[in-house]
Amino acid sequence: MAFTPRIQPITETDEELAAILADPAAELPPILPTLASVLGDQSFLDPELRPDPNAFMEEQGGWTAEQQDRCRELALEGLKRLRDNGKIDRKLSDEERHDIMCWATGADLEGPYVSMLSEELAPGNADLRATQWAKQEVAPDRDFTVAVIGAGMSGILAAYRFKQAGVNVVILEKNDTIGGTWFENTYPGCRVDVSNHVYCYSFMQKHDWPQFHSSQDVLLKYFNDCADEFGVRDLIQFQTEVTSVVWDDVAHTWTLETVTPEGEQRVTVNAVVSAVGQLNRPSYPDIPGRDSFAGETMHSAAWDHDLDLDGKRVAVIGTGCSAVQFIPHVAERASELTIFQRTPPWLMPRPQYQQELPPNLMWLFTHVPEYNNWFRLRLFWRSHEGLLPNLEVDPDWPEDPERSVSAGSEELRQLLTGYLQLEFADRPDLLEKVIPQYTMGAKRFVVDDGTWAKTLKRDDVELCTTGIKEITPTGVTTVDGVSHDVDVIVYGTGFKASEFLTPMKVVGRGGQDLHDVWDGDARAYLGITSPGFPNFFYMYGPNTNIVINGSIIYFSECEAHYITQMVRYLLDNNIDALDVKADVHDRYNDWIDEGNKKMAWGVSKVSSWYKSKGGRVAQNWPYSLIEYWEQTREVNADDYEVIS
């Protein structure tokens, strides 16, 4: 693979190997399943060391010092064998792999879990979610083209899946390069807040991520490398913004109108995949006088690197994930920084957040085949439900739901409040301002390694929690009448997340406009398709965002699988299009709404981008990851009206 070097041979002496394993940074729990797999020897799966899934979050999986020593002994033996004799030269049987997965997760895995986790494990980057059919076999003579809109993480994936099937595909991308959100968000401090070893395609795992949470440039390179590996770069028409997509009721095709440097163009296709993302249209706050400001302004998602902040008085509006990432960097340069916070975020402590991988842990990744896969599997399993159950509303829970929604949520609240109390122990004035008054999970957590408290405590930083009255030519005036004069205003005010697919116009059957149908409250069946818009599919569509469990890439892989299955059905059965039935769609959305109403983000009144303008949760998926995987396995033809 172009982007990840080969696993290096082990040349270390026994003593050096022992020293690597003795380093507390060398994560031990994944190493025994790794050795069992690459040496084909189940004796590494010591029953006394079988991980406790409840202790996954703890250091070294919660093992005692004796257990850790026992693991090191076994691991040393294994590494020596690997060094001296190499990997076994045979494929493990399904039973062997299953046993190792059960041991590694500490769970008795059955049925769909085994298949899903095998796909996620993917040793050797086996692509178990690859498209398993070929157009050449099912419909060799039929002309069929798919247009994918967007060349970000989900767009290049969808295009690759179609390419695997031999379906003609064109990707239309408004920017002049690949990467979507990882191309557009270049603000200082931008990095992924999900562990990088799960924030990557299952079949394009990278064993040498430099950090636990890589920075934007590393991710942008990763997605570019993947596009090259997929061979989809040549399918992309860059600088091509789709302005409208219109269904032809007679020809049963979609026509896309685009704006390109050469002028307006049109392309007609059989199916469309919208992979435009949810978080890429900057949202500016509706604050009176915003346009009157005489100084410079910028938004986190359109960072102006030529704007010199050195020695300037800067105001930042917003304290969401983006702002908390860039504010420490702005503070380093500004002469004075005023942060306008409307709602404090809950901080999720993660000491490794900005750290490089320690050398001995990196050694394991780069020298031990499959260590990366088993490390990822553990992370995936740990986050596959993650903290989700803690955020479910317990109807018998006596507290105000704005405080906590269950015993688990209360416990988490106390834990995270304790973190804030510790971080701000010497600044009671700030502590009062940073403790959220809403139930956790109602907004996205912000990952922190202590940088936030350090920044807010600086002498040249002020955290202002008084509401903003207006923006004037000289700065920001708060409702108490105080004018905060500044040279620059930086908006960390997020995205128009609930305005799915805007500003693109989408016109379906009978001339109906998708935005009129949605009326600001986007819905879809499986988050993938809406009635009246046949063969029009979404990646990262309504209700496919996850709050606290898993990685969005997993969802994209499920969606890409389902969408290609839809096209397969069309080709197999020689039909033009499939339109989801309204009652199927409505029932599905009732079920989604029921689920969301039982979650912290559904009951809380706090503002968040999870909700549409009417207050319905239009973004989030309220159920488990396996449920989405199961729902997107196969197309149920009964759910659809056939158009021929």
Residue placing its CB nearer to ligand NAP in the complex, 354 or 493: 493
Q: Which is nearer to ligand NAP, 123 or 436 (CB)?
A: 436
Q: Which is nearer to ligand NAP, 345 or 508 (CB)?
A: 345
Radius of gyration (Cα) for the chain, nearest Å?
26
Going 6 to 7 to 10 to 12, the CA torsion angle's sign is positive
Smallest distance, ligand NAP to C-beta of residue 316, A: 9
Strand order in the sheet with 505-507: 263-269, 253-260, 241-248, 505-507
7 Cβ contact list (under 8 Å, min separation 6): 207, 366, 367, 368, 369
DSSP for 431-476, written as a single string: HHHHS--S-TTSS--EEESSHHHHHHTSTTEEEE-SPEEEEETTEE
Cβ contact 164:130 at 8 Å: yes
Cis check for the bond before 210: say yes or no (omega within 30 of 0): no
Question: Quick one: 285 or 408, whose CB is closer to ligand NAP?
Answer: 285
Nearest-approach distance from CB 445 to ligand NAP, in angstroms = 9
Closest CB to ligand NAP among residues 164, 300: 300
Cβ 607 to ligand NAP shortest distance, Å = 4
Q: Least distance (Å) from ligand NAP to the CB of residue 640?
A: 32
Return all residues near 306 (Cβ < 8 A) that are at least 6 apart: none
Q: CA 423 from chain center: how many Å?
A: 28
Shortest Å distance, C-beta 182 to ligand NAP: 10
Q: Which residues of this chain interact with ligand NAP, rule CB under 6 A?
A: 191-193, 279, 285, 287, 300, 317-323, 325, 340, 342-343, 444, 468, 492-495, 607, 609
| Closer residue to ligand NAP in complex, CB, 439/493 | 493
Task: For 111-252, list the strands marked E by DSSP.
Answer: 145-149, 168-172, 236-237, 241-248
**Given the complex with ligand NAP, which of 204 and 471 has the nearer CB atom?**
471
* Tokens encoding 363: 């050694």
Give the phi and the psi of residue 76 in degrees, each rounded to 5: -60, -45
Helix/strand/coil for 113: helix
Nearest approach in angstroms of CB 393 to ligand NAP is 21
Cβ-based nearer residue to ligand NAP, 363 or 554: 554
Question: SS3 for 325?
Answer: helix
Which residues are within 8 A (CB) of 482 and not within 5 positions of it... i.e. 6 or more apart?
466
> In one letter, which amino acid is 341?
Q
Q: Looking up tokens 């999970």, which residue turns up?
A: 441
- Name the nearest CA neighbour of 197 among 25, 357, 325, 71: 357
Nearest approach, Cβ of 288 to ligand NAP (angstroms)? 10
Q: CB-wise, 164 or 493, nearer to ligand NAP?
A: 493
CB 125 within 8 A of CB 205: yes
Closest residue by beta carbon to ligand NAP: 320
Between residues 40 and 282, which has the closer beta carbon with respect to ligand NAP? 282
What is the DSSP code string of 279-298?
A: S-SB-----TTGGG--SEEE
In the complex, the smallest distance separating the C-beta of residue 147 from ligand NAP, rounded to whole angstroms, is 26
Would you list the DSSP string of 208-245?
Answer: T-SBSS-BHHHHHHHHHHHHHHHT-GGGEE-S-EEEEE
Nearer to ligand NAP, 436 or 532 (CB): 436
Q: How far is the CB of 191 from ligand NAP (least distance, A)?
A: 6
Minimum CB separation of residue 279 from ligand NAP in Å reads: 5
Q: Report the C-alpha gap between 356 and 441 in whole angstroms.
A: 28
Nearer to ligand NAP, 530 or 551 (CB): 551
- Least Å distance, CB 459 to ligand NAP, is 23
State the minimum distance, in angstroms, from the CB of residue 181 to ligand NAP: 8
